[in-house]
Amino acid sequence: MQRRLKFEKTANLGMNTLVELITTKGKSMKHFLMVLLTLLSQMPIGSAMAQVKAPANDEFRVTLLGTGSPAPVMRRFGPGVLVQAGGKNLLIDSGRGTTQRLMQSGLKLGQVDALILTHLHSDHVVGIPDLWLTGWLEANYAQRKGPFVVYGPKGTQALMDGLAIAYDWDIKARIADQNLKPESIQSKVTEIDEGVIYEQGGVKVVAFKVDHGELLQPAFGYRIDYAGRSVTISGDTRFSENLIKFATGTDLLIHQVAAAREDLLKSPVFQVILAHHTQPHEAGIVFTRVKPKLAVYYHFVLLGIPGIPAVTEKEVFEMTRKTYDGPLLIGEDLMAFRLDAEAVVPLATRSQ
């Protein structure tokens, strides 16, 4: 299985690489400057859109736009996964910062063909107004033609209707003042249930129920198939037999994870949060049974308070290893993957 993993450098070197190279190789000032200049020439300056190659026609690419949870941190923006296949650009969830990360991924905001929501927790939808409204502008990074297409659980229509009321002043002002097209700020919502929810251009999206807790229904995960390859995205769930059923045979499994130290779990508040999510040793069982070509963690819920530090990502990795010994990566924002017929190829993380 490990042999299937090969890394390709297709994007800019990150700041960590810069620091590492300077630390290990910068023995003289001359050398330091040479390394710095070489690397700066490869860092994104100005428009990120000019730097990231769009996927080729038959390419199946998955980009983690945001790998975080509600915690407002810069390193991990809110949940969002961009799936590009068959000429379609599908966005799974729109957490905080999705709009900025989309720009960094090289896609115009208006090029998103459909937003597909796992559930309606705020960390998964708080980025919608930005994507919806900013994507409507005529600026070259936006330019949506036609309605804002959304698939999601029951309640999605009410969410979009509410946003239309909340932003009524802006919408009317821009139609009157900038002559923006009213039809492109309309939303076209489909409320979904388990089953095939989208099938266009050879891309098939199947929704399956996951288990985010009794009071948090419905919540869905998604499997997206194209040309004999597939990615499955867990959304928010605790250990889910249904996810295993639908994900079996998938190539790339993107799964959420949550963890806390035992001392922290004396507090009921943290018990409740953890009870809604999958812990590393449980995710390991999921991966072992699904046997993806590659498992990747996103939506990190690593709980901590002053005096009780959060579980580290390295510890998450090690805890997973108790129940799973296959290919596994800790996801990062803007980490991307190409799904080939024989392998899932991680593309280098782009600079954030």
The CA distance from 233 to 296, in Å, is: 10
Min CB(120)–Zn ion separation in Å: 9
Beta strands in 127-251 (DSSP E): 148-152, 187-191, 195-200, 203-209, 220-226, 229-233
| 294-302 vs 328-330, strand pairing mode | parallel
Radius of gyration (C-alpha) of the chain in whole angstroms? 21
Closer residue to Zn ion (CB): 11 or 219: 219
Min CB(250)–Zn ion separation in Å: 21
Q: What type of residue is 296?
A: V
- Give the per-residue contact string, 278-317, with Zn ion (x = CB under 5 A; - = no): ----------------------------------------
| Lookup result for tokens 């190659």 | 53
Kindly report each contact of residues 40-47 with a partner whose C-beta sits within 8 Å and lies 24 or more positions away, as own/partner: 42/12, 42/13, 43/12, 43/13, 43/18, 43/351, 44/12, 44/104, 44/350, 44/351
Q: Does 211 bind Zn ion (CB under 5 A)?
A: no
Closer residue to Zn ion (CB): 95 or 106: 95
The CA distance from 138 to 264, in Å, is: 49
Min CB(252)–Zn ion separation in Å: 20
- Give the per-residue contact string, 97-116, with Zn ion (x = CB under 5 A; - = no): --------------------
Residue pair 82/97 in contact (Cβ under 8 Å)? The answer is no
Number of residues near Zn ion (by CB under 5 A): 3
Q: Among the candidate windows 96-104, 123-131, 237-245, 282-290, which touches Zn ion by CB under 5 A?
A: 123-131
Q: Among the candidate windows 55-63, 122-130, 280-288, 330-338, which touches Zn ion by CB under 5 A?
A: 122-130
Q: Among the candidate windows 42-50, 117-125, 157-165, 309-317, which touches Zn ion by CB under 5 A?
A: 117-125
- Give the per-residue contact string, 166-205, with Zn ion (x = CB under 5 A; - = no): ----------------------------------------
Residues acting as catalytic residues: 123
Tell me if residue 283 falls in helix, strand or coil.
helix
Q: What type of residue is 316?
A: V
Residue 243 neighbours by CB under 8 Å, 6+ apart: 208, 210, 221, 232, 234, 237, 286
Which of 84, 56, 66, 64 lies closest to 229 in space, CA to CA? 84
From candidates 93, 236, 251, 333, binder to Zn ion by CB under 5 A? 236
Residue pair 334/65 in contact (Cβ under 8 Å)? The answer is yes
Q: Among the candidate windows 97-105, 146-154, 231-239, 278-286, which touches Zn ion by CB under 5 A?
A: 231-239
Closer residue to Zn ion (CB): 55 or 80: 80
From candidates 39, 48, 123, 350, binder to Zn ion by CB under 5 A? 123
Closer residue to Zn ion (CB): 56 or 215: 215
Q: Among the candidate windows 128-136, 146-154, 229-237, 239-247, which touches Zn ion by CB under 5 A?
A: 229-237
Torsion of CA 12, 15, 17, 18, to 10 degrees: 100
Min CB(222)–Zn ion separation in Å: 15
From candidates 76, 121, 255, 350, binder to Zn ion by CB under 5 A? 121
Binding site for Zn ion (CB under 5 A): 121, 123, 236
